[in-house]
Structure 1
Amino acid sequence: MIIRRIKNIAKQRGYVVYDDPYKLNIWGIRANSTTPNSFDDEIHVFTNIGTLQKPNWAYWVFQITTDPGTYWLSNPSNSKGTAILKPGQFVDTYKIDKHRGKYYALCQRLKKVTVIRDYDRDAVLDFYNGKEDLGWHGINIHRARKVGETYTVDRFSAGCQVFKNAADFQFFMKLCELHRKVHGNKFTYTLLDKRMEFRRSLKQITIASALVGLVFGGYFLIKND
């Protein structure tokens, strides 16, 4: 089952998976591509809606970008270069707050994160040759346009994790609000840089989700573990 597979990956890497009811696990999956400006990554959100004794897992998958758009690659806002979030698990690093003072999102307010600085000002994502930079970079999880879908990243991400579909993001924030009511305003975000580890399991999710139906553009699945 997908949850067991995720737990195996987490164990191998020393990551945590939350079993507590309604405590969100938020995992970004970066695609195997160095071509920027497309929403070709995914965010997997899953939580136990049962009990610790009898877990019942809900699982959603949404389209996002985990990478900056070409505008910021060519015009970095930081002299060190454009930020690309380094894969890892960022425990209790995020909280619900206003993104750029405009609307509520998950914002990097509680701990520092490490980014890779892409400094060569071309339109190609450079994941491995840049310099690491630990700090308060404002790598938030937010949406692109206010309504509908966005098809090119452009200025919507200077390193943030950005939802393609506005309705998906609204639904995601409802899940975050439920988490906050039960567990407080602290969230963990995990970023993996290879979708290969999930490819086999994602087929199972897609098949099962087709039977349950599409929820706000994301896949919804409930399974007993």
Structure 2
Amino acid sequence: MMQLPDYAQLHSAMTRKAYGFFDRGDYNLNLVGIRKADTSANTFNDHLAVAFRLNGASHCYLFPATTDPGLYWRQQPANVKGTAILVPGQYPGLWQIGKHQGSYTALVQRGPVRVYRDSNRDRILDTDAPIEGGYFGINCHRASAHQNSQQVDRWSAGCQVLADPLDFNLLMALCQRAEPLWGNRFTYTLIEEGDL
């Protein structure tokens, strides 16, 4: 089972990786994806952490999520080069508050990312695949608007997706509190289970 970090453990893991960590000011959000070592799953077995301070006190929320694409898009890639799998790393100012596919408010890509291109259409995530950099619509959004989702399937073709719409609503509320204080730019960091 994946160890779920608290604020201090997440801060420590980020420091060991030499990533920036926002530890000053209210609602200075650290958005951190934690990818589980299981590379064959089609479930929301990863986590998205939101760590921040408010009135000096530290807070860390952990939401079930997926940081990799669902089985549908692994077997039927939307891109001829293969399905996008976000490469672990820190992506400064990656997201802004906007509309996911023009539909509902989410965090949408505004900076470049690096993705593996998994093209063999099987159930296993291939991270020894070619890497491509650029703008691919790697957003942060929810799965179903009405229920906690159990399987990823079509919900992610490479986006970072929260399983529970209530968790997603809390994430967006925090981002909307942060935006007037820090601007409409949200850094995202993707780490792996073994980094904790």
TM range (shorter): over 0.9
Deviations 1:23-75 (A, max 9, x none): 1111110011011311000011111102xxxx211111110001101111111
**Residue 16 of structure 1 aligns with which residue?**
20
The unaligned stretches of length 5 or more in structure 2 are: none
In 2: Cα distance, 1:112 partner to 1:121 partner: 25
Residue identity in the other structure for 2:134: G
Deviations 1:3-23 (A, max 9, x none): 343333222222111122211
- Shift of the 151–4 alpha-carbon distance from structure 1 to 2, 3 Å rule, reads closer
Identity across the alignment (%): 40
- How far the C-alpha of 1:197 sits from its partner, in A, is 4.1
**Residue 212 of structure 1 aligns with which residue?**
none
Tell me the number of residue pairs that the alignment of Structure 1 and Structure 2 aligns: 191
The partner residue of 2:10 within 6, 19, 24 is 6
8 Å CA contact 1:26–1:45 kept in 2: the answer is yes
In 1: Cα distance, 2:172 partner to 2:57 partner: 21
In 2: Cα distance, 1:61 partner to 1:8 partner: 16
Alignment of 1:66-215 (within 5 A): 66-109=67-110, 111-127=111-127, 129-194=128-193, 196-198=194-196
SS at the partner of 2:132?
A: strand
In 2: Cα distance, 1:148 partner to 1:70 partner: 20
Deviations 1:103-162 (A, max 9, x none): 0101112x10000000111122112x2100000011110000111111111111000011
| TM-score normalised by L of structure 2 | 0.93
Instruction: Supply the RMSD in Å over aligned alpha carbons.
Output: 1.4
**Residue 39 of structure 2 aligns with which residue?**
34
**Residue 63 of structure 1 aligns with which residue?**
64
8 Å CA contact 2:7–2:60 kept in 1: the answer is no
SS at the partner of 1:156?
A: coil
Residue identity in the other structure for 2:146: V
8 Å CA contact 1:81–1:118 kept in 2: the answer is yes
- Shift of the 123–5 alpha-carbon distance from structure 1 to 2, 3 Å rule, reads closer
Deviations 1:157-212 (A, max 9, x none): 00001110011101110001001121110001110022x443xxxxxxxxxxxxxx
Residue identity in the other structure for 1:30: R
SS at the partner of 1:148?
A: coil
8 Å CA contact 1:36–1:67 kept in 2: the answer is no
The unaligned stretches of length 5 or more in structure 1 are: 199-225
8 Å CA contact 1:69–1:157 kept in 2: the answer is yes
